[in-house]
A and B are shown apart, each in its own frame.
Chain A
């Protein structure tokens, strides 16, 4: 992964000093609440329901063992001994003191970490596929470009105060795992007909109150123009995006208002001036950064391992975990594994300090000292030998990190919700926990098969409910918490926005509502169909009819 040189370190150190002084001025009354707000937000500090929430950047989801140990220590020292991994691959601490944040930043800087632009109306953490660099279907490892874009976007003076937050995702695989179509800018890397690295650029996607999938603004962009082309897009947005209404301020609203053709014409006109400007990426810079993402020093081992085969044959629990949590790898004899942060009945994405230390140790011992955070809120060890899988499983299981539910119904993507977040209309974690308990039977879960369930506590959609096969949205109805259910959303190349099935439900109805949706699927599915396929084939109607049948009968 990327290692700081003295220039990177200097910027992070200077940021600590800058923010320390900003906090001092705020506490001394020299900065008003309103003036301090954008400053603290651009350093990841929200003022939440119970306490501030502090969001630490994990650039494109990559962490070293050393960094994760530090995060665990911070959670222990300044918080309640746990942290929450978010759908932007970052780590959130829910109980720090505002006064402690400068010191926390100073500690983070010692392990090449920061909280720069993890919130606020600026370019946020750039996200990508958690299997970047090791996925068999990968065309381009997007991490070097993601790092170049991270540096370019860090304190970009022209885009320091945009109309609204701005999210960029990059992907380099045939099967998109970074939801590039649901981002303000999505960059899909591919190899063009001439064999050169090129980018398909998407713009104007986003979830939130107005879910919209992005439009292609450019089918083919040569890689060296990635930064200047983004500058053209964001400049048009910065100048013309709405600033009078926060709900209409995202770039997707501007793109929709102008139409993609007009928006594209304005961007291209702007880019005509910016093309080949000094921010054009050089071969040398791509090579320099690319060196940090070269393949690990893999051992030359066989594609199969007799011990592993014997263990899977004799140990059903291990085999179940392998089936769900172990993923293909482009290097023979290696696998990627997902450590589930979704044990049944616990808040999805939460990890205790002890668990973080365990994962950091596992990464150090079995996976070259690195790990990744996925946008599905799990942790990934990307490079584990087949012969080590059993040992990793035993240690992960002892730490509660081996629930074999990855990609299944209980691998719920969930925002912190009304328990923590002051924006939320409703709680989301208790709903996730209740659903997990409703389906707390692994054989049944495996029978239901692959399905994605996403929960957001409000229309800001941090839980990405629009692209969940089942999406749950917390809504406020006469000051009571209700939940709206949608089905048929999907991430990936054939992304879609889910359709709402009908009136919302009370919290205690939710496990049975999900049960009914699953019952319809089980009854109607063909042999090879996943839940999403059945929904796409049949539409919402049969699901809606069954879910609401009883209520109507009672009327």
Chain B
């Protein structure tokens, strides 16, 4: 019943507001009248009685306010009132409203966009059932600070021994050559354990998953295809199951088609899956990745504990291959985001700063607005409005602004996400999963309201501290230059300047780093080089040798082709890391501490084609063939790393790969090529003659893939048709894999850096713009307030430059203070973006200096406009006006 009475009183208060107001009025009037009548009965005059009655009753409005409060609905009612009033105020100041809403929308929009990307990539559960049970299991090795691939035999041991997992599956990403309509085509895919789909808990829409026996040679010519591949290449008919597909020159039977929404998040573009046959792989050959599904209720720590003990047991049982090898269990969601987490969080921090600056800016505008409205506020207070009520009014207006800005911001955010998706260089996983969902909307609304409270607090706080008497005394129209408000606004400007300097410095570093990246000499001549990979379907080393001999010979004969070379990997981002390398005659080098090295099997024309320079010794020659002494050429980085004080030529090296673990004699040293994908771009590299490597690998290697690099006389891509037709004439089932000019490869490597730099620069530009608007607003008001003073000074003989100096002096003081703080904060903050930087220290003085000077320039401009206006003050007009 009491609940009901409260509800009824709320309901009445909201719906019957005006009736209740008039009833309340009537009730109080009745009281005063009845009282007055009684006083009249004691002989008082009507007028005197009414005066006394009113006096004794006290403030009628105060009593009404008390009644409204007592009903417990005052806040709702007040809110409605405040909203109406606020909306009216915003409509009356369209300039202020537009600037504030737009500023906020920019802040909220960038935050919404970046947050939805963070949400889609890092937070959203993976698109599989019970995805929290999914993990990646990888190998650890003291030499690497990140998880590394696993070998087949070790994975098989893991799968048998691990009891905390429902299942573990292996995965090896591959490129396949698929025959479609008699044209060889390159399709990405993978070889997977038979239980791969079981781990993900995904079932094919047609057909079946792999069976256990299909993991072994003889039964393994079966394939699963994605829905997209099935629709585009197989016509999308259900009878595709059972059909034959030519993959890498061999027949595979399609046993199943995957669901339309299926994607493997760790290799998004995989379209074909075949069984992973591990029978012939070596324990020391680490090439595959492993995923697993934990049993329900098993924690990550339990699984990690089990894998630790399995790894220790394997270390004891196979010390040769497994010494110091551990295993690490990582949630699959973490694994997916691992490459982008840092960049995304940096972007989130950057837009967070933009939002803070936007808030400071609007806070500043609102303070200015509050100063103009001082008169109105004083009058309302004099009429009995409580400070709390007025402060709330102020906050309501801010929240109203916040909601407007937030709404526009979300629209901007949607657009921003689309732009991000379109412009992203494709290195971000799960991009298509990004969407503006409930969580994102919640985030956007929270930051809109949070932000509006943040920027509404300053004026609200001011109102609550304002002295009524002073305010009324100072007059209603002219803004006062109270030291307190001046300080608040100046503090906000200083904060804005400091924050935008932090962003500018960060962006400056990103720009510097990118400039460094693109201007770095890659070490080779990237102009007019055509590159592609080949994957010959041969089983014997001799066949591979013969195949590549034909390729180099016949492609070299194409008119306009200057030279042709083969290389296992192509810079800037390819490479085969392995090691360690062990040197003979060198007791100083501890084999376990030896530097990592790339070894690259190349054909003899490689240095000539890439235009690398020999600095010592000789190039490979036609005499370095199987059977002849094994020879190697080191690059300068490798020569320096292994033989710092000696001539490398004539030394012998041994590679840490089982199949290549013989002694190779160094015959020459060449200049470095840069592999921008690696931590150190001057990677120690050992070049080995391709034919000798083939001989060491022997028959039955996992693949005999190689890249072909062609130096052309003109635009390299124009040679593609000729190269293709030569290829077909050698082998009509062979596709050119990933044909690109070397310049395309380089720019592809730079694309993520370019993208990050552009985004950071855009955010910093936005910050700079907002800060400029902020300081302009403050300086304009400052100048306007001092018009009279300036008028007097001019009348007393001050020169125009003196006037400009007054205004600029004030602006520069704030700028210097803000920059000081900003540089200090930036010095600490830029350390966090170190991982984004290439060849630039996070304390790069040039980035700091250019950020600060750009800021100074823009702010000088923002101060100059009000200063010039002040300069033109006509002393007669001003003084008369006063």
Do A and B actually bind? no
- Which B residues form the contact surface with A (CB < 8 A)? none
Q: What residues make up the interface of A, taking CB atoms closer than 8 Å to B?
A: none
